[in-house]
Amino acid sequence: MTLPFNLYSEIVSLAGRHASEDGENQTAIEALGISRRSAPSAPCHGSYRPCLAMVIQGAKSLQLGTDTINYGAGDYLLTSLDLPVAWRVVEASKEVPHFCISFTLSSEKLLDLMSRAHIERPAEQVNGQRGIMVNTATPELLDAAIRLMRLLDRPDDIPAMAPLIEQEILYRILTGPAGGQLMNIVASDSQGNRIARAIAWLRENFARQLRIEELAEHVGMSVSSFHHHFKSITAMTPVQYQKQLRLHEARRLMLLERLDAGTAGHRVGYQSPSQFSREYSRVYGVSPSRDIGAARETMAAE
C-alpha cells in the first residue's frame, strides 16, 4: 500500500489543531487522545492502560521494570494490560512539538472481532512476551489512523464513521506483529489472561498484604508458573508491581489531596514511615517532601 508523502504533515497539522495546549488532550472521539509536549520532560510516573500509542512527531523513552524502551515518529507502542511505568519525552520543542495519538483498546471489542473475522490465535510462547511492545506502524495502520483523525474536522460524521475505522484499527493491530501477544492476553484460557486477572486484583487491593500463594491460586496457577509468567510479561515481580502501584497512589494523594507523607504512606499499605520514605526516594530519586514541593511549584508556574 502506497501512502501520500505528506501523510505525517497532515497528521501533525490535525494534532496541532485539536491539541493546542501541552498535556493529554481528549478528543470528540471517545477512544482517541492526543498528547502534546513543547519541550523534553522529566520522568513521569504512572500507569499505562491497554492502548495503542503512536508517535507522529518527536520521541519518547519509557521504563518498564528493568526494560528501557525508546520509540519515535512512525513507531507505535502497544500496551496489552495495565502496567506501572516511568516515561519521558526526549525530543520536542516549541517549533516542533512532540505529538502522540493514543487509541484505547477494549477487550470486548477485540474478542468480538476475533470471533467474527476468524482470526486464529497463535500458540502461546512458553517464555511469554512483554505486555508492552514497540513496532513500526504499517502503511495500512497509518492510513486508518489518519482517516480517524480527519473525522475530528467533521464531527457530524463521528457517530457513524468512527466505529468502523476503530474496528479497522483493531484488525490491523491483531493481524500485525504484536497481534499474537494481544490475543493471548484477552483469551480467557491463556496464561497471559491469568496474569491480567492477577494485575486487576492487585490494582483493586494494592494496600492489602500480598500473599503470592493466594493470588496464584485465585487465578488458577501454580506459584512457580505464576512468578515466571508475571515477570516475563511485566518485567517485574508481583511484589515490585505492588510497590509501584502503592507509590504512585501515595504520590497522587500527597499532590492532589495534600496528605502528608506519613498519612499517604499508611493509606496505601505502609506500616513504617521510614520504609515508605526510603522506597519512595529509590523510585522517584528524591524524598516525598522534596518531590511534592517541586511538583507543586511546577503546577503553580503553569
Residues 248, 271: Cα–Cα separation, whole Å: 17
pLDDT of residue 196: 92
What is the phi-psi region of residue 29: left when phi exceeds 0, alpha when psi lies from -120 to 50, beta otherwise?
beta
Q: pLDDT tens string for the chain (302 positions)?
A: 444 445 678 999 999 999 999 999 999 999 999 999 999 998 888 889 999 999 999 999 999 988 999 999 999 999 999 999 999 999 999 999 999 999 999 988 998 898 888 777 766 665 667 899 999 999 999 999 999 999 999 999 999 999 999 999 999 999 888 888 888 888 877 888 899 999 999 999 999 999 999 999 999 999 999 999 999 999 999 999 999 999 999 999 999 999 999 999 999 999 999 999 999 999 998 999 999 988 887 766 66
Using a 10 angstrom Cβ sphere, with 0-12 exposed, 13-18 middle and 19 or more buried, the burial of residue 156 is exposed
pTM of the full structure: 0.86
Q: Please report the pLDDT score of residue 301 as a whole number.
A: 64
| Helix H or strand E encompassing 104 | strand 98-104
Residue tagged 492526543 (cell numbers):
34
- Whether residue 52 contacts residue 78, with contact meaning beta carbons closer than 8 Å, is answered with yes
Residue 226 burial (CB < 10 Å; 0-12/13-18/19+)?
A: buried
In the three-class reduction of DSSP (H, G, I as helix; E, B as strand; rest coil), residue 176 is classed as: coil
Distance CA(141)–CA(169), nearest Å, equals 6
CB 180 within 8 A of CB 133: no
